[in-house]
């Protein structure tokens, strides 16, 4: 839940309950306006437009609790104080997700390891903490820098809406999803989003991170 995100409908800020309802209603409206590609889909597309709801507000105001690859409970607020590179993926993805991780590792390398990195699973049924730990080892992700998170479906839906990430579970159990890498400043505000995994787009993300690091000096 949100303490208060401060976004408005009219002139009054949304409280935490209203914000959750707003996200759910917006999700329903977006999905109901598109033609379904399959007869039955268990998980709705979150945001077709890939437009983040967080805007200029910190996503660290989200009160949800997550579990990382070590089995420890993590709040998003605990990530504050460090630039974070965030993406929503899942461990059994064999197409774009490894390329997203590779792009994030490239950003990490060019930032001199001065950033934190977060992968939020969109597949909580299969991505248990041991599965996340095995994936972290397979991909060579340093535990001191990387948080691989799983959580409740509603919390995943909420953070996806805030980040503007769309995802949809397909009949074969795999997911169609946005390829978005988000850069958060030390306060958890979105300062840059990379929509795609092309090399030139990653270069833009690197420049955004380097600018943040330079301004922090």
Which CATH number goes with the domain that contains 13? 3.40.30.10
Domain that holds residue 167: 4-215
Nearest to 100, CA basis, from 54, 69, 146? 146
Alpha carbon dihedral 52, 159, 145, 151, in 10-degree steps, equals -160
Span 66-112, pLDDT tens digits: 999 999 999 999 999 999 999 999 999 998 999 999 999 999 999 99
How many other CB atoms sit within 10 Å of the CB of residue 181? Answer: 25
Contact 129, 150 (CB under 8 A): yes
Span 44-67, pLDDT tens digits: 444 454 566 656 789 999 999 999
- Res 36 pLDDT > 80: no
Ramachandran bin of 127, using left for φ above 0, alpha for ψ from -120 to 50, beta for the remaining angles: beta
Residues 6+ apart with CB under 8 A from 167: 43, 45, 46, 88, 122, 160, 175, 176, 177, 178
Give the Cα separation of 41 and 113 in Å (integer): 40
Mean pLDDT of the chain: 82
Pair type for strands 146-149 and 65-67: unpaired
Report pLDDT for 56. Answer: 78
Total structural domains within the chain: 1
- Res 197 pLDDT > 70: yes
Contact 43, 168 (CB under 8 A): yes
How many other CB atoms sit within 10 Å of the CB of residue 89? Answer: 26
Rounded to two decimals, the pTM is 0.79
- Exposed/middle/buried for residue 7 (C-beta within 10 Å: 0-12, 13-18, 19+): middle
Give alpha helix (H) positions in the chain.
16-32, 96-110, 129-139, 153-163, 199-215
Report pLDDT for 97. Answer: 97
């Amino acid at each position: 839940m949100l303490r208060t995100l401060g976004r408005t409908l009219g002139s009054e800020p949304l409280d935490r309950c209203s914000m959750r309802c707003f996200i759910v209603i917006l999700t329903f409206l977006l999905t109901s306006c598109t033609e379904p590609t399959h007869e039955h889909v268990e998980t709705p597309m979150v945001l077709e437009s890939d437009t983040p709801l967080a805007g200029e507000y910190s996503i660290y105001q989200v009160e949800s609790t997550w579990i990382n690859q070590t089995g420890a409970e993590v709040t998003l607020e605990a990530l504050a104080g460090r630039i974070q590179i965030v993406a929503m993926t899942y461990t059994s993805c064999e197409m774009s997700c490894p390329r997203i991780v590779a792009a994030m590792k490239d950003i990490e390398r060019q930032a001199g390891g001065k950033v934190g990195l977060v992968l939020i699973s969109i597949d909580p049924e299969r991505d248990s903490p041991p599965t996340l730990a095995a994936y972290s080892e397979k991909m060579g992700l340093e535990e001191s820098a990387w948080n691989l998170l799983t959580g409740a479906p509603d919390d995943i839906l909420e953070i996806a809406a805030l980040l503007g990430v769309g995802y949809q579970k397909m009949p074969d159990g795999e997911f169609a999803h946005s390829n978005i890498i988000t850069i958060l400043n030390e306060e958890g505000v979105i300062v840059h989003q990379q929509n795609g995994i092309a090399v030139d787009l990653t270069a833009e993300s690197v420049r955004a991170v380097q600018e943040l690091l330079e301004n922090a000096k």
